[in-house]
């Protein structure tokens, strides 16, 4: 499945994340790719809303991973500061790639692509002019 949408605002981007999250199941991994400011964290905030997470989702850039509890646990990883993919493994994160009990979403996922399951849902966010973003979601058949 491939779907491309144009987002005109942060709320649009969050809504796309919310819609995707509603269709996810335990063990699903979502990989986010896009430049700084493209809207990856905004998309995760929408996913959290779709999973009925009540806590505020922050950018995890200064920690490798956070866990939020909702309809399913949401494991939010950020590979921005990762030098080598194995650092994620050394940090004990193999067990959420995939997670047995919840959903995993990874920002800067292209940096750790080799660690992600083949069934990963890829979301590519591209900065257009102003507040516009192109968001392409590719899910395995
Ligand atoms: N259409 C849009 N989608 C997402 N964010 C947008 C959009 N338009 C403007 N923004 C702004 O861009 C920034 C995106 O930040 P963030 O979601 O943290 O990006 P990333 O995690 O990719 O670095 C926010 O300040 C947000 O308000
Ligand atoms: Mg971010």
> Is residue 1 very low, low, confident or very high in pLDDT (cuts 50, 70, 90)?
confident
- The domain limits of the chain are 9-103
Closest ligand 1 atom to Cα of 32: 22
pLDDT at residue 61, rounded to an integer: 62
To the nearest whole number, what is the mean pLDDT of the chain?
95
Q: Which ligand is nearest to the CA of 45?
A: 1
Q: List, for residues 50-103, the tens digit of each pLDDT value.
A: 999 999 998 766 678 999 999 999 999 999 989 899 999 999 999 999 999 999
Give the CA-trace dihedral at 101, 103, 107, 109, to 10 degrees: 80
Report the pocket of ligand 1 as residue ranges, CB < 6 Å: 7, 9-10, 12-13, 34, 36-42, 59, 107, 131, 133
Q: Give the mean model confidence (pLDDT) for residues 113-125.
A: 97
pLDDT at residue 15, rounded to an integer: 98
Give residue 57 CA to ligand 1 midpoint distance, Å: 14
Give residue 10 CA to ligand 1 midpoint distance, Å: 6
| Nearest alpha carbon to residue 30 among 68, 70, 76, 69 | 76
Q: Give the mean model confidence (pLDDT) for residues 1-24.
A: 97
Q: What pTM does this model have?
A: 0.97
Tell which CATH architecture fits domain 9-103.
3-Layer(aba) Sandwich (3.40)
Q: How far apart are CA 101 and CA 72, in angstroms?
A: 7
- Residues 98/68, Cβ–Cβ less than 8 Å: no
Q: Give the mean model confidence (pLDDT) for residues 5-12.
A: 98
């Amino acid at each position: 499945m491939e779907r491309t949408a144009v987002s005109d605002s942060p709320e649009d981007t969050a809504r796309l994340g919310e819609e995707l999250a509603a269709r996810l199941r335990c063990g699903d991994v979502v990989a986010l790719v896009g430049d700084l400011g493209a809207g990856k964290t905004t998309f995760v905030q929408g996913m959290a809303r779709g999973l009925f997470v009540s806590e505020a989702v922050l950018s995890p850039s200064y920690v490798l991973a956070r866990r939020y509890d909702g309809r399913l646990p949401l494991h939010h990883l950020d590979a921005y500061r990762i030098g080598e993919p194995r650092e994620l493994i050394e940090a004990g994160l193999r067990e959420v790639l995939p997670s047995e009990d919840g959903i995993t979403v990874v920002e800067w996922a292209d940096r750790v692509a080799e660690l992600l399951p083949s069934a990963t849902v890829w979301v590519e966010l591209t900065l257009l002019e102003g507040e516009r973003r192109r968001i392409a979601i590719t899910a395995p058949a």
